[in-house]
Amino acid sequence: MFLIEALGVLLVLAGMPFFLAGTLGLLRFPDVYTRLHALTKADNLGLGLVVLGLALQASSWQAAAKLLLIWVLVLLASATACHIVARSALHRGLKPWNRKEQ
């Protein structure tokens, strides 16, 4: 029991750096496309680890299943939203950032 609890805490803690990195990327990366790249890492992997950690500590398997369902829905939604934003940016003529041109 204690091991499962500890593993849950460990997974939640492992998920947090992804959110930090995603936020840093959102603030510091040079253009829309690279920022989206940073954000989706936090959404997918970071949230996945946090959800896994929480599911291990959940009181029932139903609660754990709900948490995993949330993760799957966020995966779908964030990938779609990311695609739409990038597509819209491309339509507006925003060129992807290029190190050589700077």
Partner 1 sequence: MIEFAMDITLVISLLWLAWLLLAAQDMFKAIILFIIFGLFMALVWARLNAPDVALAEAAIGSGLSGALLLASLRRSGESGAGNEQRAGGLEPGSGITPGSATLNITHRLLTVLIIGLAGTLVWAAWVMPPQHSGLTEQVTARMQRSGVSNPVTAVLLNFRGYDTLLEIGVLLLALICVRSLGALPQFLTLRPPGMVLMAFTRLLVPFMVLVAGYLLWAGAHAPGGAFQGGAVLAAAGVLLLLADIGLLQSCPERLLRALAALGFTVFLLVASMMLQASGQILNYTPARAGAWILLIESAALISIALILVLLFSGGRFEKGRVPAQERDPVQ
Structure tokens at 23: 């936020």
- 6 near partner 1, judged by CB under 8 A: no
Please say whether the beta carbons of 31 and 98 come within 8 A: no
Q: How far apart are CA 45 and CA 78, in angstroms?
A: 12
Instruction: Supply the minimum distance, in Å, between the C-beta of residue 56 and partner 1.
Output: 22
Helix axes 32-41, 2-28, angle to 10 degrees: 170
- 91 near partner 1, judged by CB under 8 A: yes
Instruction: Supply the minimum distance, in Å, between the C-beta of residue 31 and partner 1.
Output: 17
For residue 45, the SS3 value is helix
Interaction pattern, residues 49-88, with partner 1; x per rule: CB under 8 A: ------------------------x--xx-xx--xx--xx
By CB under 8 A, name the binding residues for partner 1. Answer: 73, 76-77, 79-80, 83-84, 87-88, 90-92
